[in-house]
Chain A
Amino acid sequence: SQKIEQNSEALNIQEGKTATLTCNYTNYSPAYLQWYRQDPGRGPVFLLLIRENEKEKRKERLKVTFDTTLKQSLFHITASQPADSATYLCALSDSSYKLIFGSGTRLLVRP
């Protein structure tokens, strides 16, 4: 069955360092991969979308890579700040209109 895996353990890093979050998937042929941020008690907020034929996408301090051979996406936040502390979700969409989410990884940035 289709499966999306994100590290369930929280990632704890020092302010100023680069945070790297991983999203792995199996039994899936996504056309797009998306990353969202979710703060406690709120709905997810869209951050970045990358297509299957793109290797890398950047937006300000954010960078996403997409390796369809490894079936993996990496999400990087450079020069991390305490305000970046949140849960980050990856989501995959294929031609079926369904958007399927991973369970998310919590990021804690220490001042």
Chain B
Amino acid sequence: NAGVTQTPKFQVLKTGQSMTLQCAQDMNHEYMSWYRQDPGMGLRLIHYSVGAGITDQGEVPNGYNVSRSTTEDFPLRLLSAAPSQTSVYFCASSSLRFGGYSYEQYFGPGTRLTVT
């Protein structure tokens, strides 16, 4: 049971390049989400999904796309990287209990992205 895995661990991009951050979980969790973490800003929600084929925007969705074709995978796409997207990105997953609230999150190890 690997939990939540993220690849790559580190990435350097030039402004304007695109890339996909990968996230996978093997716990059969319905809920998956992406956060970015910047110094002094805490974790900010980018996008989330409550199941395959269902995604929605979080607090800071601009410049990012997501899709959820399977329960296990939730990739995050940067369409045209900008220096403001330099950050540490965390993927998380959880089960959805009765009432649909997102419960305790299992986080991946993070991807450190630098955009020059």
Which residues of A come within 8 Å of B, CB atoms?
6, 8, 31-32, 34, 36, 41-46, 49, 89, 91, 93-95, 97-104
CB B32 to nearest CB in A, in angstroms, measures: 11
For the residues of B in contact with A, the DSSP-based class is strand
* B interface with A by C-beta (< 8 Å): 4, 31, 33, 35, 40-45, 48, 50, 56, 58-59, 90, 92, 96, 99-110
Known contacts A46-B105, A102-B42; A31 and B99 CB within 8 A of each other = yes
Shortest distance from the beta carbon of B1 to any chain A beta carbon, whole Å: 16
Number of A-B contacts (CB under 8 A): 68
Report yes or no: B58 in contact with A98, Cβ–Cβ below 8 A.
Answer: yes
Does A44 lie within 8 Å of B100, measured CB to CB?
no
The closest CB in chain A to the CB of B3 belongs to A43
Chain B residue at smallest Cβ distance from A104? B42
Do residues A97 and B50 form an inter-chain contact, with CB atoms below 8 A? yes
Cβ contact within 8 Å between A49 and B110: no
11 sample A-B contacts, Cβ–Cβ < 8 Å, listed by A number: A41-B110, A42-B109, A42-B110, A43-B90, A45-B107, A89-B43, A94-B101, A97-B101, A97-B102, A102-B42, A104-B42
> Quick check: B43 and A101 within 8 Å, CB to CB?
yes
Asked whether A97 lies within 8 Å of B35 as measured between CB atoms, the reply is no
Shortest Cβ distance from residue A15 to the other chain B in the assembled complex, whole angstroms: 27
Contacts A32-B101, A99-B45 aside, 7 further interface pairs with beta carbons under 8 A come to: A46-B106, A97-B100, A97-B102, A98-B59, A99-B105, A100-B59, A104-B42
